[in-house]
Structure 1
């Protein structure tokens, strides 16, 4: 009886330890966001004090959020973020899906070499080529436009890699049957592979939207007109020009900027997990 009960006890101790570690990591990860929202609800005299409390004694949410929207065009910054991230995602998928299909399901000379180039591209951050990109866009007269914010990210080597890994997990018989039915390669991509790749596309969409919604480095270089500011750039400009040390208003603006990302992830988290899991099947 002791031997039978011992493994169950070990399993329960291990599960408790695992859950405790995960809970601690969750607290560390969520603490800045919780404090940001808490600060956005407080009056100035409650923020810079040694008395730490999450819920404000006097709720100042309406003043802080109204001041944030009145001081800067937050709606315009959010619209710019939606335009830029949606356009980048559409272009990336339009290029990455056919390229990944060719690398995963088509036989041609140089396929391994091309995939090696994709892997090499994963090692090069775009910050390393920011100067050539800036010079090229300046020569084309595209600086301070939406094109300057979108064009450098139209091709995603990470998207090609992720979609290729997912396509490898799909049976070759599916593609062979479509070819026997007389479908063209592009028709197979968009009518057969894309519907089957929903989880992978959702996962990549989360990665892409989060990365480019939060990007501060490139918009700071590419645009100078405040009407083209993306959300992070707009918040920093607000801090420098208007908010100053008014942290309640500043955190209200930051909360508004972060909320769409949190909502999008919560809505797509199941598909996101499925996509990440399936890309490692084969």
Structure 2
């Protein structure tokens, strides 16, 4: 008798739980779709505007789908200045910064994570303090120093101030500290040198985190407007964000279609890089979450 009652209660709970689980799953999907819509709308609007005629950009309420897509806007944006040179300069600067950062943050993070030496905590604290200092606060002494070295209007002048990254050192140090000490000791017993331990053991184990930092760094310096504006006065070393700003200066604020086409040219390489690295980024979050 008692068993039949419990069976009845359990069946009622299961009958109630299934609609509840479905409702929660549906609410989760709706929330995710809303988030996707919020983040995607600016890109969709940018794409839509880049294919409109100038009068269509002024229509209110706005039309999301262009009546007759105008691909000439991209050619107009590209031909508004030496865009190939801007693109090349941006690529050289972003990749150059990334190479130097990898050469500095990996050994620095390994040293802070695996060595205990006099002043290590103090030095790491200084690294952390630099995260709180805005770039606009120190740009003048850096500019004067690079000017004295005659590095204005050069790629090197745009790269050297970012040759290291406090955020990268912190991120990698935390990841290196999660690697088993026994694994490193086993490598040392096999007489592996420190640089081999770093390159053959540590770096592969934290590859998702390293790839995530690579993406963050590339995006930050590809989109950087302030420092190239300060360091360059002619077209020889100017980057793509300055070229996009030049469209606005040359064509006027009202030519939103050409300006949006230029912005899509700026964003396209970032989307390509993200497309190829998205799996590693997901692995980085899963890796940190599991640890």
Whether 2:67 is the aligned partner of 1:24: answer no
Select between 219-228 and 33-42 the one with higher mean Cα deviation: 219-228
Residues 73-94 of structure 1: CA deviation (Å, up to 9, x unaligned): 2222111111001010111111
Structure 2: 5+ residue stretches without partners: 1-10
* Deviation of the 1:51 alpha carbon: 4.6
* Deviation of the 1:217 alpha carbon: 1.3
Select between 189-198 and 263-272 the one with higher mean Cα deviation: 189-198
C-alpha distance 12-116 of structure 1, shift in aligned 2 (>3 A) = farther
Whether 2:192 is the aligned partner of 1:201: answer no
Alignment correspondent of 2:271: 262
Paired residues of 1:35 and 1:54 also in contact (CA < 8 A): yes
Give TM-score, length-normalised by structure 1: 0.93
Alignment correspondent of 2:56: 46
Alignment correspondent of 1:77: 86
* Deviation of the 1:29 alpha carbon: 1.4
Paired residues of 2:153 and 2:236 also in contact (CA < 8 A): no
Structure 1: 5+ residue stretches without partners: none
* Residues matched between the structures, number: 281
* Deviation of the 1:243 alpha carbon: 5.2
C-alpha distance 280-156 of structure 1, shift in aligned 2 (>3 A) = farther
State which of 111, 120, 144 in structure 2 corresponds to 1:135. 144
State which of 230, 233, 243 in structure 2 corresponds to 1:224. 233
Whether 2:257 is the aligned partner of 1:248: answer yes
Give TM-score, length-normalised by structure 2: 0.90
Residues 118-145 of structure 1: CA deviation (Å, up to 9, x unaligned): 2222222222211221122122221221
Counterparts of 2:123 and 2:282, CA distance in 1: 28
Whether 2:199 is the aligned partner of 1:190: answer yes
Counterparts of 1:94 and 1:141, CA distance in 2: 24
Alignment correspondent of 1:118: 127
Paired residues of 1:226 and 1:234 also in contact (CA < 8 A): no
State which of 135, 139, 163 in structure 1 corresponds to 2:172. 163
Select between 199-208 and 141-150 the one with higher mean Cα deviation: 141-150
Query: Over alpha carbons, which structure has the higher Rg?
Result: 2
Counterparts of 1:280 and 1:124, CA distance in 2: 29
Residues 28-61 of structure 1: CA deviation (Å, up to 9, x unaligned): 2111111111111112222211252222111211
Counterparts of 2:65 and 2:236, CA distance in 1: 35
Paired residues of 1:166 and 1:280 also in contact (CA < 8 A): no
Counterparts of 1:164 and 1:210, CA distance in 2: 22
